[in-house]
Amino acid sequence: MTKETVIHVKNLTKKFDDFKAVDSISFEVKKGEIFGFLGANGAGKTTSMKMLIGISKPTTGLATVAGFDVYKNTEDIKKNIGYMSQNFALYNDLTIKENITFFGGIYGLSRKEIKEKTALLIEELNLQKVSKKLVGSLPLGWKQKLSFSVALLHNPAIIFLDEPTGGVDPITRRQFWEMIYKTANQGTTIFVTTHYMDEAEYCDRVSIMVKGKIEALDTPKNLKNKFNAETMNEVFIKLARE
C-alpha cells in the first residue's frame, strides 16, 4: 500500500553569500511517517526546516510541502502545517489558557472549537491545577508538551518539530515521544530534527545531514546494518569520520 508523498524535496540549496548551509538535498516523506532529520549542530537541519515551513526562501532546488510549492505558496503551506520551535515559543507572560486561545484564534478556530480544545488539552496534559498560571512559571517539560499540543490545535497534516527535546529529562523525553506516536497513529506526518541519535531509533526513517549534505537516508535498522553498528550513535560517528 503506497502512501501519498506529503513532502517532496529535490536538490534544495540555501546559500548565505558563498557559504552553502544546505547543499542540494533530496528526499521524500510519506503521509503518517515519523521522519527524523538528524545531524550535528550546524549541519544545516534548522536551515532546511525553515525552508520547508515557508519562512526562508531557498536559493535553488525544488520542494513541495502538503502539495504546495515553497517558493510561491508559503501561506498555503502554513495553513496545513504545525510548528514547534526550538525554544518552545510560547508567551511566558500569558497563561496556558490564553496561549491556547491566542494560537487557536490565529489559526482560525471558532470560539467554540477553542473552548473545546482547551478543555481537552488541559485534561490530556493534566494541567488543571496550573491552567491559570503564566507559562513562564511552568517547568520545561510541561512547556514542551504544551508547545507540541498548541502546534496541533488546527489539526495540521504535517507537524515540524525543531529539536523538541532539548534540555528535558529522559523520562519527559520518553513521554513526549509517546505523544508523538499517538499523533502519528492518527495520520499526522511528523518531521522532527534532533541531534540526539538515540531518538533516531524512534523514527520510521531518518536522514543524517553532515555539512549541508544528506549523507544517509533509510530506516534505522537498515542504517545500522549498513554501517555495522549497534546503535544510531555509532552510525553517526562512523559517518562523521568519513
Partner 1 sequence: MKIIGYIVQKEFKQIFRNKEMLPIIFIMPIIQLIILSNAATFEILNIKFSYVDNDKTSFSRSLIDTFDASTYFNVQNEYPSNKIASAAMLKGEVDVILEIPQHFERSLIKEQQTDLAVIINAINGAAAGVENGYINQIIKNFNTNARAKFMNQNASIERPKTIEASPSFWFNKTLNYKTFMIPGILVLLVTMITLFLSGMNIVREKEIGTLEQINVTPIKKHQFIVGKLLPFWILGLALLSIGLVIAKLLFNIPIIGNLGLMYFYTSIYILVVLGIGLFISNFTETQQQAMFISWFFTVIFILMSGLFTPIESMPRWAQYINEFNPIRYFVEVMRMVMLKGSSLADITSHIVKTIIFAIVMNVLAVISYKKVT
- Name the site residues for partner 1 (rule: CB under 8 A): 53-57, 74-76, 78-79, 81, 83, 85-87, 89-94, 98, 101-103, 105-108
Nearer to partner 1, 26 or 85 (CB): 85
Residue 83: CB minimum distance to partner 1, A: 4
**Cβ distance 209 to 38 under 8 Å?**
yes
Residue 85: CB minimum distance to partner 1, A: 6
Please, what's the largest Cα pairwise distance for the chain?
55
3-class SS of residue 69: strand
C-alpha 161/C-alpha 36 separation (Å) is: 10
Nearer to partner 1, 90 or 208 (CB): 90
Residue 82: CB minimum distance to partner 1, A: 8
Nearer to partner 1, 70 or 206 (CB): 70
**Among candidate residues 103, 62, 101, the one with its CA nearest the CA of residue 84:** 103
C-alpha 88/C-alpha 148 separation (Å) is: 8
Residue 105: CB minimum distance to partner 1, A: 3
C-alpha 7/C-alpha 191 separation (Å) is: 9
Nearer to partner 1, 81 or 180 (CB): 81
Nearer to partner 1, 90 or 235 (CB): 90
Residue 202: CB minimum distance to partner 1, A: 24
3-class SS of residue 104: helix
**Cβ distance 97 to 131 under 8 Å?**
yes
Residues paired with 92 in a beta bridge:
none
